[in-house]
Amino acid sequence: MTVLIKEHAKPSIQEILEAGKFLVTGEIGPPKGTDIDEMIEHINLLKDKVHAMNITDNQSSVMRYPSLGTAILIKELGGEPNLQVTCRDRNRLAIEADLLFAYTRGIRSVLCLTGDSIPVGDHKEAKAVFDLESVQLLQIIRNMEEGRDSGGNELKGGVKFFKGAIVTPEAIPIEPQMLKFEKKIEAGAQWFQTQAVYDMDNFKRFMEKARKISDKVYICCGLVLLTSPGQIKYMNANVPGVFVPEALAREMEDAPKEERLATGIRIMARQIRQCIDEKLCDGVHIMAIGKESVVPKILEEAGVDITKM
Amino acid sequence: MIITTSKPFEEVLKALEGEDKVFIVGCGSCATTCETGGEEQVAEMKAKLEAEGKTVTGTVVYEEVCHELNTKRKFRENKEAVEAADGFLVMCCGAGTQSVREATEKPVHPACNTVFLGNIQRHGHFVEKCSLCGECVLEDFGAICPVTRCHKGILNGPCGGTDEGKCETSKEKDCGWTLIYNQLEKMGKLDRFRKIYGLKNWQANMKPGRVIFEKKGEGGE
């Protein structure tokens, strides 16, 4: 079978994790439009600083340059993509077809998400698809790996992906989340990235519960860069499953305006260091949301150099 | 109960442009409860149209406008007023409006928007709990529907947008999966939550729906 991209510039996420290394991933948010110069700059900046880059799929239900196209672009530029696939905009046929294509273009890791709801985005009158959801998407991929599509038809050449999923450690209530986490594993999830975590004590409690459910899956802590007191207030009030503790909020409030970004960098660097030093999890996922250019600085402050890990 | 809301009067008036003589149909069932097409609203509409210079040739309000044979019979009973009309204004759901379509060759106009199959919580308060998916899953979820009450119709547990029992789309709306979790827990049936539900069969409510009961007679009369 011809797989168009056979040579991989970088080890895969699976190879890193299975080698017992601490995984460091970043995130690329594609632009709204065809001007991809800045995104290419971000990819070039990150490709040797992190093991792999997530590519968001019409993030927050805002229409953008596609995640699959960006994943291929990352490959072409010599990086390693982690393709995010949501179920909001495509039905089972479209998702399966995309996965066939992704596989032939050397995409090795897929993050399976249900997707945000349409009304939070910028196409509020669009019809939401949700023909599948994250658990079913994981199942579909497993079937495709066994050579069958979701209609039960035989594939002429299947796929093989390192199947990822997400979990929300700060969800209230947490019990249904943990049950769903368990179901995702049963459906085939091999590794997890968490939604944004700020409360490290809560994250520790979450990890204890998660490890009891499975000590086989890899879990990477999701971290979102804090940039201002306003952003913290907004997130605490409006972003479900995200809670910035009082102490961090105060640290940001106390910082002079010109040092806020530096404060956010310092906070995240400290969290990364804590994850590594206390062996809390198997990796971190850094979401700089528009501030990708500071990711090397965060890693430097955290004392993380993936070439030496 | 089919929940309807009234279209703005300006929209109704625009639709009736060029039709001076109008016959109004209201419904004694759902649209009466929704106060969008009962006796009172039909009388109000008549007065408003007359104030705009229209002639209302007749009005009729009866149970189940969606019943096509019934509608044809009502039109025969009101033959004179029906024949005098240039067009028909239907103050009920889309099913009723299309029932009227079957009963006349003249223009037919909807006066309502049809929004959902709803439960009545109290006077004027309606919520959607069933979306007519064609393959009922209530048995598995403690009689709380994930297809409808989860905004994303997820069959396998809450999304990350759930927040203290509320949905990411609105703090006014309950997270269906929190309701299901609580119900199953109360019943000691959380094992049902653990079960992985495969893909839903959307063929079961393929449009347009059609059901024929062979032994129950034709037309229901």
pLDDT beneath 70, residues of chain A: 1-6
Cβ partners under 8 Å of residue A87, min gap 6: A95, A113, A114, A115, A129, A130, A131, A132, A133, A134, A136, A137
Measured between alpha carbons, how far is A271 from A167 in angstroms, rounded to an integer? 18
**Quick one: three-class SS letters along B124-136?**
CEEEECCCCCCCC
Min distance A164 CA to chain B CA atoms (Å): 15
**pLDDT for the residue numbered A146:** 97
A236 close to B (CB below 8 A): no
Measured between alpha carbons, how far is B110 from B14 in angstroms, rounded to an integer? 12
Q: Which two tokens stand for residue A113?
A: 């998400």
Q: Extract long-range pairs of A179-184: CB within 8 Å, 24+ residues apart.
A: A179/B157, A179/B181, A179/B190, A179/B193, A179/B194, A180/A135, A180/B156, A180/B157, A180/B158, A181/A210, A181/A213, A182/A213, A182/A214, A182/B194, A183/A135, A183/B156, A183/B157, A183/B194, A183/B196, A184/A112, A184/A134, A184/A135, A184/A138
| Residues of chain B positioned with their CB less than 8 A from the CB of A166 | 160
Report the relative pairing of strands B112-122 and B2-6 from DSSP bridges.
antiparallel
pTM attached to this predicted model:
0.94
Which residues make beta-bridge pairs with B128? Answer: B118
The residue to which tokens 């079913």 are assigned: A136
**pLDDT for the residue numbered A271:** 98
Under an 8 Å CB criterion, which residues of B touch A? 151-165, 168-169, 177-178, 181, 190, 193-194, 196-200, 202
Cβ partners under 8 Å of residue B136, min gap 6: none
**pLDDT for the residue numbered B214:** 83
Q: Nearest CB to A183: which of B152, B157, B160?
A: B157
Q: What ipTM was predicted for this assembly?
A: 0.92
Domain locations in chain B as residue ranges? 2-115, 134-201
Site from B150, B156, B195, B203 to mutate, A interface, most A CB atoms within 10 angstroms: B156
**pLDDT for the residue numbered B221:** 43
- Scanning A61-90 for CB atoms below 8 A from B yields 88
Report the relative pairing of strands B87-91 and B108-110 from DSSP bridges.
parallel
A93 close to B (CB below 8 A): no
How many residues does the structure list for chain A? 309
pLDDT beneath 70, residues of chain B: 216-221
Contact A195 B160 (CB under 8 A): yes
Phi and psi dihedrals of A162, rounded to 5?
A: -85, 110
- Helix (H) or strand (E) segment spanning residue B173: strand B170-174
Angle at A27 between CA A146 and CA A262, to 5 degrees: 155
**pLDDT for the residue numbered B39:** 98
Contact B161 A117 (CB under 8 A): yes
Domain locations in chain A as residue ranges? 13-302
Which residues make beta-bridge pairs with B166? Answer: B163, B174
Strand order from edge to edge, sheet including B2-6: B2-6, B112-122, B125-128
Grouping H, G, I as helix, E, B as strand and the rest as coil, residue B121 is strand
Sign of CA dihedral A14, A18, A19, A22: positive
Beta strands in B10-85, from DSSP E residues, in sequence order: 21-27, 55-62
The residue to which tokens 């909020």 are assigned: A249
A220 CB-side CA count, 13 A: 30
In total, the C-beta contacts within 8 angstroms joining chain A to chain B are: 94
Measured between alpha carbons, how far is B123 from A61 in angstroms, rounded to an integer? 36
| CATH of span A13-302 | 3.20.20.220
- The pLDDT tens digits for B162-214 are 989 999 999 999 999 999 999 999 999 999 999 999 999 999 999 999 999 98
CA dihedral A289, A291, A297, A298 (to 10 degrees): -20
| CATH of span B2-115 | 3.40.50.2300
